Structure 1
């Protein structure tokens, strides 16, 4: 059942590839809550993915774009305001990719050209997107711009590699540009630090299954899935959060505040023989 939280609101959703994508779930729920929006992804993703199916389902127009290319971003923003009939109320940046991860380059043996691309695609594209919207004066007052992050921006998590650096930069951009956009145009900029989630992009992270299981055992509420994240995003797009900006908002079942949970400790102790466990005390 919808609540009409986004009735009359216009938006742009970047990053929906298939029904495993968080952006896909956000688009479905935003549509159910009354929003109209455009969808954008890379030219290859638009050809190879299922975004056309999502567009038909939500009555949206697909605008292919390389989010690292300023001309492409200008076209997305311009076309979106024309298609939707006015300024934008919300934007979702759900974009991330690491060639080092894909090529299995470990953090102490990075390819720096790959690192530059990781930062450009996964974080600097966020700055480019916000700057484009700002210069084009494309957002309504109290509009909401949200990017998806992860706790590895603050903590070291094995296997997350240079994506951790990208997420740290992403969150810094939200704070720095959030101050300017809020001061000048009353537009909100935030990041949501989501639980590890099974997506097409996330599946490339080494040991993702173990990471998901570990965080689920650590979190008192368990992991937040893609549908949960979509609900949080919609809340951040809505007027219910008009004064929330420059924040990194943890959406992880409590994982980010836990040192050791009962479930995780029980599993840890199971890994020892009974004699070894006695030696620990």
Structure 2
């Protein structure tokens, strides 16, 4: 049931690709709660996703931008404010990509050029985005910036490869830039989400086993994409004005478990 938590608020959602994307679920929840938004993703998504149809279905604009390009981010931020009619209240960074993972390179035999690309797309883009927002003074007071992450930043999941280090860097950027954004009364947080069935996530080696293991280990089970959308909206809302520089686990309790008898079939 909608509560108009985001009535009158506007922002940018990065990373929606198709109807299974976490970013798309979050966009739908933002709209349901009264928010207005612009969608963005890399131009290459035109070939692989269905973002055009999704945007048309809710009557929202898409501005394609390479999140690793400061120039394109600057243009995105300026044009989004023009479309939405003012400064931004929320921004979602839901971007992650590893060529090494896609090409099934083992962690002990990584291509370092691809690794640098992973870091740029999945983590450094977050700093670039925040720096562009900061310099443009594009966020309203009590605005909220959120990025999606995963517990592999703290614990070892071998098949997650160098995406683990990328998420660690992402979370560090949230803390460090969160300090500077606090002077503008803007919050910066990361959400550490359960393994979630998405087009991107399903491409990870052994994902089904990975998903099922987490579901059994978590006392509440894996958090769904719809639940993640609810949680993200709460961080965009005025109800969480004093929450910043946090990595917030949204994982059904997985992060605090040592052993669950369910894993042993007990």
**Aligned match of 1:261:** 260
* Structure 2: tracts of 5 or more residues without a match: none
Cα distance in structure 1, aligned partners of 2:64 and 2:91: 16
Cα distance in structure 2, aligned partners of 1:250 and 1:266: 26
Cα distance in structure 2, aligned partners of 1:219 and 1:98: 26
The structure with more radius of gyration: 1
- Give the alignment of 1:129-140 within 5 angstroms: 129-140=129-140
Displacement after TM superposition at 1:146 (Å):
0.3
Q: Deviations over 1:81-133 (max 9, x none)?
A: 00000000000000000000011111111100000000000000000000000
Cα distance in structure 2, aligned partners of 1:74 and 1:58: 25
**TM-score normalized with structure 2 length:** 0.98
**Aligned match of 2:9:** 9
SS in 1 for 2:91: strand
Give the conservation status (yes or no) of the 8 Å contact 2:146–2:189. yes
Cα distance in structure 2, aligned partners of 1:114 and 1:77: 28
RMSD: 0.9
Displacement after TM superposition at 1:57 (Å):
2.5
Q: Which runs of 4+ in 1 moved over 3 A?
A: none
Instruction: Tell me how many residue pairs correspond in the alignment.
Output: 266
Give the conservation status (yes or no) of the 8 Å contact 1:27–1:58. no
Q: Deviations over 1:198-244 (max 9, x none)?
A: 11111121111001000000000000011111111101100010000
**Aligned match of 1:230:** 229
Displacement after TM superposition at 1:265 (Å):
2.4
Q: Does 1:216 align with 2:215?
A: yes
- Give the alignment of 1:118-267 within 5 angstroms: 118-182=118-182, 184-266=183-265
Give the conservation status (yes or no) of the 8 Å contact 2:107–2:158. no
SS in 2 for 1:193: strand
* Structure 1: tracts of 5 or more residues without a match: 268-281
**TM-score normalized with structure 1 length:** 0.93
